[in-house]
Structure 1
Amino acid sequence: MQGVDLYDDRARALLDRFRFVPDARLDDLMISYATDGGGVGPHFDSYDVFLLQVKGKRRWRISSQKDLTLQAGLPLKVLQNFEAEQEWVLEPGDMLYLPPHIAHDGVAEGECMTCSIGFRAPSTGELTAQFLYHLAERREENGQTGALYRDPQQPAVDRPAELPAALVERVGAILAGIKWNEQDIASFLGTYLSEPKPSVVFDPPQRPLNEARFTSEASRSGVRLDRKTNILYNRRFFFLNGEKMSIDGAKKWLFDLADHRCLSAKRFVTLSHDSSVTARLHEWYCAGWIRMGELA
């Protein structure tokens, strides 16, 4: 089961133990269950992964082999020619780290459960496509759609299905003229990497407190990020669940919230005199992005 951290606070707390990895790279917590002799077969992942044994035993065999040919006709990517080089039996509390493309095969010895903590590793193609889409979207938002394509010098043709060379040349010049800078890249990464997965749905409070009551309650209990909330920041902006917002001088409390995923009651009290801060936090509370109470 993938993304268990989105649905269980204990799983989220376990994932948080791996936040020595930047949030921008940390993906999710997956739990796999198997009975005696169970496993998916020898395979490899294209990203770093920690394999943490939480129940029972699992025997892991690994290989740094270069032959990553897959067996044909299977729904899973199982290696055709797996040759183990090392092996270990993991018991509860043991953990195995695997870099990308290290072949591995895990077989349960009795009933067992294993947690997989994976890194986010988007492909070059994915990043390129999403970045260009981001640039186009931001240009539209800023009213920079530009002039429509025109070719008043295009003569009549007797081969209408042929792609005009002038069209290819003109569009090539348009694309070559697209420029971006480091801040454009940072804004893209912040919004893209903080965007919740498509399956994520936030649950707003059924009876939300008004801002005054919210401020009073948070001053006693503190607030914490919902386990589904993603937040990143740089020097100028922060990125919350795919939205870019200006820091507006509120750096310290915002950095604390992002890095620790909570604000203590004592910390909240020091902020409560600033109505712009409490209004913003109340808005996030009503959206289900933050919850009352500190982390357990």
Structure 2
Amino acid sequence: MYQLTFSFEAFLAEFWQKKPTIIKQGFKDFSDPISPDELAGLAMEEDVDSRYIAKHGDDWEVKHGPLSFDNVPEDNWSFVVQAANHWHEGAARLVTPFRQLPNWLFDDLMVSYSAPGGGVGAHIDQYDVFIVQGSGKRRWRVGPKQGNYEEEFGHPALRQIKSFEPIIDEILEPGDILYIPPGFPHDGIAIETSMSFSIGFRSPKKQELLSSFADFVIANEVGDVHYHNPDLPARNTPGAILASEFADMEAMMRSLLDHPEMMKQWMGEHLSHSRHELDIIAAEPPWQAAEVYQFLESGEVLKRLGGLRAFYYPEQPNILFINGESYELPEECGTAASYLCDAEAISQGMLGKLMDHPAFIALLTQLVNYGYWYPVE
């Protein structure tokens, strides 16, 4: 079990989305949750998002997975696996200490393996990231946040920038954590063969929210009405859009937002949709409700799929949003939200009387059959 050595509340107050920092020995006696061989195995899989990055003098080479590792050079190369928490249970456990932040902000765990000199070049990200140094050592440089960094086009697949004056320039050792808020340039270069674990938090953009909401409105045939104005005045300027007409059509658009329950449904479904592939294996043959009940009653545990996004609103805990879909339980099943969305595993001891509610067991059976929850071996 991984445990942070610092106060998360104090960290949030001083650093979160304010300034970068290094937390020396943020994890004490840290050991890699996944081996280089296991990581390479994931990078060779078709469904896993991976990249190989190498530098040859002034030239950069980038390959997208599935990768092979024939004839790799001795140094100046690395490979990364996105959403490793979706595919490897040990890696997923490294995310647990960071659950003090909202799950809806969490994006993924990216794992990087680097030979000496390996890195991806100086760049700027638009998300919050905690970079945990695993085995080996890596030198990190972080610059100040400003808007005039010049881009460098070393490779079309790499959004790099030219040099910057660092405000942080340190070598990280196993268990050290580097936190970087959005907009701060940074560059990490392996001093020796090393592993890095990046826990990323990505907030939605206005554009994404508007686009997603528009899709929801269209899919649900909301607001499928035309503009009407029975008091339309005659005019001598037919090319003009009158202020009153602009105001009416603007009001039409704004009225789409004046549906709190619909907005909650859309937001819950939107935030619970994963940007990365999930390792979903549907139950075969499907479970029956009685089997799920007996499984839990016998003291066994069901675990939530790594990377599965599951949320609820505290004021409506009987409505769950899981992997882009909404599920409604009777109001008396409201405690299910905390077990299914807050906890990473469930057992009979947690559920108590909820075990005896047919609607809950029916939903849990459905989720198990989808492969969203699965028996712990």
Provide the TM-score with structure 2 as the length reference. 0.67
Aligned to 1:293: 376
Select the residue among 317, 340, 349 that pairs with 1:266. 349
Aligned to 1:156: none
Aligned to 1:158: none
Aligned to 1:255, the other structure's residue is in SS state: helix
Aligned to 1:88, the other structure's residue is in SS state: strand
Does 1:132 pair with 2:211?
Answer: no
The worse-fitting range, judged by mean Cα deviation, of 17-26 and 62-71 is 62-71
Select the residue among 41, 59, 84 that pairs with 2:121. 41
Aligned to 1:276: 359
Aligned to 1:122, the other structure's residue is in SS state: coil
Does 1:200 pair with 2:278?
Answer: yes
2 CA distance for matches of 1:58 and 1:277? 48
- Deviation, structure 1 residue 4: 0.4
Aligned to 2:85: 5
Deviations 1:166-222 (A, max 9, x none): 9x9686664355342444433222111101336335211233332222211122203
1 CA distance for matches of 2:207 and 2:94? 31
- Deviation, structure 1 residue 49: 0.5
Structure 2 vs 1, CA of residues 121 and 32 (structure 1 numbering), >3 Å: closer, same or farther? same
Aligned to 2:140, the other structure's residue is in SS state: strand
Structure 2 vs 1, CA of residues 217 and 173 (structure 1 numbering), >3 Å: closer, same or farther? closer
Overall identity of the aligned pairs, in %:
28
Aligned to 2:95: 15
- Deviation, structure 1 residue 133: 2.2
- Deviation, structure 1 residue 29: 0.1
- Which amino acid in structure 2 is aligned with residue 233 of structure 1? Y
2 CA distance for matches of 1:18 and 1:39? 25
2 CA distance for matches of 1:29 and 1:176? 37
Deviations 1:14-54 (A, max 9, x none): 11221011001011000111111111111111111000011
Aligned to 2:105: 25
- Deviation, structure 1 residue 104: 1.0
The worse-fitting range, judged by mean Cα deviation, of 195-204 and 275-284 is 195-204
2 CA distance for matches of 1:266 and 1:177? 46
Structure 2 vs 1, CA of residues 104 and 24 (structure 1 numbering), >3 Å: closer, same or farther? same
Structure 2 vs 1, CA of residues 146 and 87 (structure 1 numbering), >3 Å: closer, same or farther? closer
Aligned to 2:174: 92
Aligned to 2:132: 52
1 CA distance for matches of 2:168 and 2:373? 45
- Which amino acid in structure 1 is aligned with residue 125 of structure 2? D
Q: Report 1:194-233 matches (<5 A).
A: 194-197=272-275, 199-200=277-278, 202-220=280-298, 221-233=300-312
- Deviation, structure 1 residue 165: 6.3
Structure 2 vs 1, CA of residues 178 and 253 (structure 1 numbering), >3 Å: closer, same or farther? closer
Deviations 1:69-109 (A, max 9, x none): 21136321111232223211111111111111111111101
Aligned to 1:68: 149
- Deviation, structure 1 residue 147: 4.3
Compare the two structures and name the one with the higher helix fraction: 1
2 CA distance for matches of 1:95 and 1:201? 28
- Which amino acid in structure 1 is aligned with residue 282 of structure 2? P
Aligned to 1:100, the other structure's residue is in SS state: coil
The worse-fitting range, judged by mean Cα deviation, of 96-105 and 236-245 is 236-245
Aligned to 1:189, the other structure's residue is in SS state: helix
Aligned to 2:367, the other structure's residue is in SS state: helix
Q: Report 1:163-174 matches (<5 A).
A: 174=252
Select the residue among 190, 203, 206 that pairs with 1:108. 190
Structure 2 vs 1, CA of residues 124 and 179 (structure 1 numbering), >3 Å: closer, same or farther? closer
Provide the TM-score with structure 1 as the length reference. 0.84
1 CA distance for matches of 2:276 and 2:175? 32
1 CA distance for matches of 2:279 and 2:97? 24
2 CA distance for matches of 1:17 and 1:150? 55
Structure 2 vs 1, CA of residues 63 and 259 (structure 1 numbering), >3 Å: closer, same or farther? same
- Which amino acid in structure 2 is aligned with residue 95 of structure 1? I
Does 1:256 pair with 2:339?
Answer: yes
| Structure 1: segments with no counterpart, 5+ residues | 152-162
- Which amino acid in structure 2 is aligned with residue 283 of structure 1? Q
Relative contact order, higher structure (CA 8 A, sep 6+):
1
Aligned to 1:78, the other structure's residue is in SS state: strand
CA RMSD of aligned residues (A): 2.8
